[in-house]
């Protein structure tokens, strides 16, 4: 069997796509998989690193202001549709899977025109533009949040969750090992701070101003700054000279980080939220305001409405984030309540369920 997986632009699209491909290989070992992305975007680097072949389209998104790139958009779109047509025609896939992003729209559209079975996966609680545009034409729509019939035809929707890493489900068994890895104490409460791989200015500035208060009150902090802010925050952390603070631009051993955490501070990207549900940790979400349609706030509210997370808005974080973190660290009952509720929203078998749906539409 042959499959095309298309989309990208951000890690939020790419990592679910790779997880789906890996599950396809696990269930159908001799299947062939081809990725189609956008030239110059991060999928062109990340997908080959994961062991899959990828080809790029010259597609670009529309800018919010008048630019030369916008004038070139119709030509890039036609060029991309033509190239996508040839790719699909030559590869002859049994199904085409779209995960959102610029390239996905072109590939999904030509797959529909060629009568090939199609499935899209939507990571967010607010549907992306590409997925909304192709939704009426595709065979199946796998979603990560309930109530998505606001955006998609109800009869096509299957609630599967987001495919995320599998190593964060049994955290208690690696707890001691994790504290040794970070050189922290098992006997102190620990805050895990995440702002994504690039980092979050608001969260980093809040920590810069308030981490000393956390440390003074006897708490430990594991702080992922993101690569943009690392040098500045590291220089600041050196002035504190605290053995209770672990600071890094990016944490690769995320299972260890979750195992140590009593409370997590995080942005509200779709994959982050899905991971946090699986980890089952009391969480304070600080949604980024710099994303399309404010979708991170919508992701966060999906948890807040189930009493499964605490919301701190970006504009209020400098005044309230550290205070609310300390309040939560001191409130064992609230921690337990949030942890129980967030775990109810976890979908640990999302990859398998999505691949089951792909197999169904092909059969």
Annotated binding site for UDP-N-acetyl-alpha-D-glucosamine: 10-12, 124, 165, 197, 251, 270-275, 296
Helices 317-330 and 332-344, axial angle in degrees (round to 10): 100
- C-alpha to C-alpha distance for 40 and 122, rounded to whole angstroms: 23
Q: Please, which residues have CB within 8 angstroms of residue 352's CB and are 6 or more apart in sequence?
A: 23, 27
Q: Are 56 and 77 contacting, i.e. CB atoms less than 8 angstroms apart?
A: no
Q: Which two tokens stand for residue 217?
A: 């009150």
Residue 315: which of 335, 294, 329, 334 has the closest Cα? 294
Element of type H or E holding 54: strand 53-57
Q: How many beta carbons lie within 10 A of that of residue 334, not counting itself?
A: 15
37: helix, coil or strand? strand
Strand-pairing partners, residue 282, are none
Tokens 């098992």 correspond to what residue? Answer: 186
DSSP 314: G
- C-alpha to C-alpha distance for 32 and 83, rounded to whole angstroms: 20
Q: Which two tokens stand for residue 301?
A: 């509210």
Tokens 């995960």 correspond to what residue? Answer: 99
Helices (H), 115-269: 129-134, 175-182, 201-216, 230-240, 254-260
Q: Are 245 and 221 contacting, i.e. CB atoms less than 8 angstroms apart?
A: yes
Q: Which two tokens stand for residue 269?
A: 């990207």
Question: Positive or negative CA dihedral for 68, 72, 73, 74?
Answer: positive
Q: Are 43 and 8 contacting, i.e. CB atoms less than 8 angstroms apart?
A: yes
């Amino acid at each position: 069997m042959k499959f095309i997986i298309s989309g990208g632009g951000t890690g939020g699209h790419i990592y679910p796509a790779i997880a789906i491909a890996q599950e396809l290989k696990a269930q159908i070992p001799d299947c062939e998989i081809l990725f189609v992305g956008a030239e110059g975007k991060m999928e062109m680097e990340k997908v080959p690193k994961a062991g899959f072949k990828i080809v790029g389209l010259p597609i670009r998104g529309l800018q919010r202001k008048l630019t030369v790139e916008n004038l070139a958009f119709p030509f890039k779109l036609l060029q991309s549709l033509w190239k996508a047509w040839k790719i699909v025609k030559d590869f002859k896939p049994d199904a085409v899977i779209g995960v959102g992003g610029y390239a996905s729209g072109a590939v999904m559209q030509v797959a529909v025109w060629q009568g090939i079975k199609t499935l899209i996966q939507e990571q967010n609680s607010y549907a992306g533009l590409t997925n909304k545009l192709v939704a009426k034409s595709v065979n199946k729509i796998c979603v990560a949040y309930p109530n998505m019939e606001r955006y998609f035809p109800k009869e096509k929707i299957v609630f599967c969750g987001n495919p995320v890493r599998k190593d964060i489900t049994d955290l208690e068994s690696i707890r001691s090992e994790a504290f040794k890895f970070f050189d922290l104490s098992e006997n102190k409460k620990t805050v895990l701070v995440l702002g994504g791989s690039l980092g979050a200015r608001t969260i980093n500035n809040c920590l810069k101003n308030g981490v000393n208060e956390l440390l003074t009150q006897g708490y430990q902090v594991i702080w992922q700054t993101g690569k943009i802010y690392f040098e500045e925050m590291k220089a600041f952390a050196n002035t504190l000279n605290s053995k209770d603070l672990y600071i890094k631009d990016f944490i690769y051993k995320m299972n260890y980080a979750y195992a140590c955490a009593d409370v997590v501070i995080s942005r509200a990207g779709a994959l982050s939220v899905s991971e946090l549900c699986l980890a089952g940790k009391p969480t304070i979400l600080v949604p980024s305001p710099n994303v399309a349609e404010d979708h991170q706030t919508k992701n966060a509210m999906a948890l807040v409405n189930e009493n499964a997370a605490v919301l701190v808005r970006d504009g209020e974080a400098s005044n309230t984030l550290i205070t609310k973190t300390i309040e939560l660290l001191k409130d064992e009952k609230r921690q337990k309540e949030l942890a129980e509720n967030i775990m109810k929203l976890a979908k640990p078998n999302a990859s398998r369920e999505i691949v089951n749906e792909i197999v169904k539409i092909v059969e």
